[in-house]
Amino acid sequence: MTDPWHWLEPFDMLMTLGLGMPADPDAQAGYVTHLADAGISAIAIGEDVGAPPISAAMVAASERRALPLLLTAFEVSFAALARVVADSRTDVEERRRLARTARIYESLRTATIEGRGGTALLDDLGSELGCRLDVLDLRSWRFVFAPRRRAPAAVRDVLSETLVRCAGHLPAVLHLELDRRVGLAVPVPARRPAALLASRFTEHQPELSVLQHASTVAALELEKLASSRDALARAGAELFRELLAGRLESAQASVRLGAAGLGDDDHVVAAWWHEGTKAAGVHQELFASGLPHLLDVDREDGIALALVPDHRRALEALLDALPRDCCVGVSTGVGGQNRVAAAAREARWALGRGQPDRTRVVRYRDRNAAPWPFAPDRAEEVAEHVLGPLRRYDQAHHTELVRTLATLLSNDRSPTRTAADLFIHRQTLVYRTRRIEKLTGRSLSSTKDVVELWLALRALEVAGG
């Protein structure tokens, strides 16, 4: 961390790999000064593991403030160093605290070697501290390592009120009621806002500094979990693309969907405009809510597609992960792996029907939706019939006639707005318009021809072109 003095107590020794130390000499001197002001007794820096070179200014500051800099050989573990410090103290409580801190990191080391983590590691730490430990996601209000569990309403209310009052941050420790008993909440320094909840104490409450060390271990586990979810998201996107392309046999698809948590229930495909959303952020939100899913983004037309279970909770979780003004089109039930591509076309079609009035959710075959003159599975055929000459001309001459037509019709054929959106001169737009009319054999002055061109553009979106 770049500011460890906020997290340590007087007389503590800072043990660091140096990753948070500044490289600038003046900043290094300020780093030492901040630690000295906080009453830190010494700084132990691991050699050859990432720390920047120690400058003369940093040495001078340490001499001036009588704050020793200790260089720790790579072979000497911080756990061993902590034990030496603990054994050198005559104060029993201090020795117990330092030994407990060392055992916290020893639990992390053991869990890492044995491939255990999450709930198992929290249980180990809870046994060491004499309490129950949970990690709560402060966005989804679900317990990170058991996402089907939601935080009690009373806990959410206290934490929400505190976050509002403290500009989105939790204090170093917050006292609250958990399971009708006294509990503590300590912030977890991770990429997603989270809190470590301690409750059901078997003896006295653990010291704040010890809880903060447990919070640091929880942060490492959250980062491991986030990295694991990123890898799952990439694998899921690849699986989704293979399903959309029809490249998987039924048995193989069933096995891989089951591994992704999508093997039992029926599914639907949801579509939304990717602009303004980040796929990685949507993934993390869906994982945090415990929702199995596959998600991919079509880079050409900017539409994101997700395969999710066909039930209300799944749709609610997806809507919570997206901006409030984001429209979502939903297909009918997939029913089988060979219908994923058709369901994706249905979702795209439903998305287009929801755009004019910004309806939040539009389902394919919704009886309140306007009827359309052809089925989504004929989208490519319709698009090719009307726009085929434009698409081939664009490909051969590296032009943007299809995009120009789409922009013109979306602007109600206003030449001024269209030229501004495309960053071209109005005369250039006139030239492109004449070329579009010549290649398609349709006039932009004819209502009938405009309808055909607009439907063909919609068909092109549904087909993913």
pLDDT tens, position by position, 30-63: 999 999 988 899 999 988 778 999 999 999 999 9
Residue 82: inside a domain, yes or no?
A: no
Q: 355 and 269 in one domain? A: yes
User: In the chain, how many domains are there?
Assistant: 4
pLDDT at 370 over 70: no
For residue 370, is it within any domain? no
Residue 15: count of CB within 10 angstroms of its CB:
21
What amino acid occupies position 228?
A: S
- Looking at the fold, whether 253 and 213 belong to one and the same domain comes out as no
Same domain, 309 and 180: no
Whether 123 and 226 share a structural domain: yes
Beta-bridge mates of residue 135 = 196
Give residue 152's identity as a one-letter amino acid code. P
pTM higher than the cut 0.75: no
278 and 318 together in one domain: yes
* Domain assignment of residue 368, yes or no: no
Do residues 241 and 254 both lie within one domain? no
Q: Is 299 a domain residue?
A: yes
Average pLDDT over residues 112-125: 87
Same domain, 380 and 359: no
* Domain limit, last residue, from 227, 245, 263: 245
- 64 is in which domain, residue-wise? 1-76
Would you report the helix, strand and coil content of the chain in percent, each value rounded to 5? 50, 15, 35
Q: Look at residue 95 and tell me if it is in a domain.
A: no
Residues 348 and 437 in one domain: no
Tens digit of each residue's pLDDT (9 = 90 or more) over 266-310: 899 999 887 766 767 888 888 888 888 999 887 777 789 999 998
Residue 98 lies in a domain: no
Question: What pLDDT is stored for residue 371 in this prediction?
Answer: 47
Q: What is the CATH number of the domain that holds 342?
A: 3.30.70
Residue that terminates a domain, selected from 189, 217, 245: 245
- Together in a domain, 239 and 128: yes
Give CA–CA dist 27/210, Å, rounded.
28
Q: Is residue 257 in a domain?
A: yes
Locate tokens 């006139």: which residue? 430
